[in-house]
């Protein structure tokens, strides 16, 4: 990974993710499939200098989420996370 690449925090993905999720993903808690770190999605390192979004673990930089728009489809890869847990309002 190029250390000079800049990233935003995961909050920057809120608008794009709201197109496919009815709830706020940035407040969900996830676990990195590589190092086991747990945290809010908002704490991830978000890279937007690519055709889509890439969220990486703040501890080990493992890819947690990839979201790419291709024509009229959105491809979402969450395989870098063990889980993503949402708090649901009653
Ligand atoms: Zn990690």
For ligand 1, the distance from its centroid to the CA atom of residue 71, given in whole angstroms, is 31
Greater model confidence, 49 or 84: 84
What per-residue confidence (pLDDT) applies to 72? 87
Q: Could you report the per-residue pLDDT of 7-66, keeping only the tens digit for each?
A: 999 999 998 888 888 888 899 999 999 999 999 999 999 999 878 999 999 999 999 999
Tell how far the Cα of 31 is from the centroid of ligand 1, in angstroms: 8
DSSP state of 12: G
Residue 2 pLDDT > 60? no
Place 85 in a pLDDT band, splitting at 50, 70 and 90.
Answer: very high
Q: Give dist(CA 90, CA 11) in Å, integer.
A: 24
pLDDT, residue 3, reads: 57
For ion ligand 1, residues whose CB falls within 5 Å: 32, 34-35, 37, 57, 59-60, 62
User: Alpha helices, DSSP H only, in 6-90?
Assistant: 14-17
For residue 74, how far is its CA from the centre of ligand 1 (angstroms)? 25
């Amino acid at each position: 990974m190029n250390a000079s690449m800049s990233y935003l925090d995961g909050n920057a993905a809120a608008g794009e993710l709201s197109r496919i999720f009815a709830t706020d993903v940035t407040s969900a808690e996830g676990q990195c499939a590589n190092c086991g770190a747990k945290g809010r999605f908002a704490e991830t390192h978000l890279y937007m200098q690519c055709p889509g979004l890439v969220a990486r673990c703040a501890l080990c930089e493992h890819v947690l989420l990839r979201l790419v728009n291709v024509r009229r489809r959105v491809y979402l890869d969450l395989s870098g996370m063990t889980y993503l847990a949402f708090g649901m309002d009653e």
